Amino acid sequence: MRKFFTFTFFLIIITSITAVAFEYKKLDKNINIVYELKSIIDDYFLNYCQTYDSYTVNRLYSQKKIHDNQKINNKLIVSIKKKPLNPNLIKLINKELIIKLSNQSANEIDLDYLSDAKKEFVKTLLPLISYENNRILLERLKLKSIKDFLINFNSLPKSEIIFLEKIAKRYKLKTKSVHKLDIVNELLDLVDIIPNSIVLAQAANESGWGTSRFAKEYNALFGEYTYDFYSGVVPLLREEGEKHLVKAFESVDKSVQSYFYNLNTHYAYKDFREVRKVMRENNNFSNIKLLVKELDTYAVDENYINIINLIININKLNKLNNFSYSDTKS
């Protein structure tokens, strides 16, 4: 009887919230309210459901992909409509206060405002994201020292040449008949951080805060797609005729690494990297929304940018950007 009452009460709450959300959408008022109410529903599922079937998770969050894709000669081709970089970008960045934050343990951060499920998700993922960002910053320091050496001496020791060729190969850059200084400059555009809050928000959205079948069984947190049968798993709700798989990973940290590599290399996110470059030049990453805005190609959902921003705002993920964005020694 008690279980029946709890279930009935839970159902009434969800119905009421959904009805309110629908009414706001129907009246075309502030769309943010719809997603804020949806966040409340998500928390109920996360806190009170003992199991999460793939249908429920995908209904709530969905697995995202780059849109308008097709396979030609075994290569994934993505149709991207090029848009000019906002000429007022530097002004927008400079309007924000420059905030330099120091390293901090995930266990030292106050997360009591989050539900238990979200708190566990953040505590698990944040150290992996921070590690990847700090690894990237160390590589940037090395690249900058190589650049300075090249400018001053127009040559490199053999050990530095080996390092440069190794990292260029990893980022799939052509090095034959290319000046080493040009290689370094191109790498500095690719080898850079992605703010913790953005990574966490996209992972939360793609994996249902770590509850999706793909996250739990295959460590797939970011909804990356693949056509390699040996490295992916077939989505349960894949549309007829589709041949993509969700990319699987042997561990969570491998999923994080793949996500960073994807955003730092794929031409679908070239605009994201261009905005980040301007931020780097101004040593100011405080206006996260400018970066989120350039992730519209990550999903087919036209409200994707709004959703990611709301996940960051509602869950106060900006406060988790808790390491120094400066790539200079202090």
* Distances, alpha carbon 309 to alpha carbons 9, 130, 203, 238, 263, in Å: 31, 20, 13, 27, 18
* Cα–Cα distance measured from residue 69 to residue 79, given in angstroms and rounded to the nearest whole number: 7
**Packed helices 31-48 and 116-153: angle between N→C axes, nearest 10 degrees:** 110
For the chain, give every domain's residue range.
1-50, 78-222+252-320
- The structure tokens listed for 272 are 């994201």
Which one, of 125, 274, 282, 64, lies nearest residue 188 by Cα? 274
CA quadruple 229, 230, 234, 240: dihedral, nearest 10: 0
Q: Convert the pLDDT of each residue in 131-151 to its tens digit.
A: 999 999 999 999 999 999 999
**Residues facing residue 75 across a β-bridge:** 72
Q: pLDDT of the chain along its 330 residues, tens only?
A: 555 555 555 555 554 444 434 433 444 445 555 555 555 556 655 655 544 444 444 444 443 433 333 333 333 333 334 455 565 665 566 654 443 444 556 666 788 999 999 999 999 999 899 999 999 999 999 999 999 999 999 999 999 999 999 999 999 999 999 999 999 999 999 999 999 999 999 999 999 999 988 888 889 899 776 655 455 555 555 555 555 567 788 999 999 999 999 999 998 999 999 999 999 999 888 899 999 999 998 887 889 999 999 999 999 999 898 643 344 444
φ and ψ at residue 232, rounded to 5 degrees? -140, 175
**Residues facing residue 72 across a β-bridge:** 75
Cβ-based neighbours of 95, under 8 Å, separated by 6 or more: 287
**Residues facing residue 217 across a β-bridge:** none
* Confidence (pLDDT) at 300: 77
Residue whose tokens read 């793939």: 54
* Cα–Cα distance measured from residue 213 to residue 236, given in angstroms and rounded to the nearest whole number: 10
As separate numbers, helices (DSSP H) first and strands (DSSP E) second, the chain gives: 13, 5
* Distances, alpha carbon 105 to alpha carbons 111, 139, 202, in Å: 12, 22, 21
Residue whose tokens read 């599922």: 45
DSSP string, 92-156: HHHTSPP-------GGGS--TTS-HHHHHHHHHHHHHHHHHHHHHHHHHHHHHHHHHHHHHHS--
- The structure tokens listed for 139 are 């590589």
DSSP three-state, residue 73: coil
Q: Convert the pLDDT of each residue in 246-295 to its tens digit.
A: 778 899 999 999 999 999 999 899 999 999 999 999 988 889 999 999 99
* Confidence (pLDDT) at 200: 97
Cβ-based neighbours of 137, under 8 Å, separated by 6 or more: 193, 327
* Confidence (pLDDT) at 78: 35
Which one, of 122, 262, 263, lies nearest residue 204 by Cα? 122
Chain length of the chain: 330
* Confidence (pLDDT) at 40: 59
* Cα–Cα distance measured from residue 108 to residue 228, given in angstroms and rounded to the nearest whole number: 41
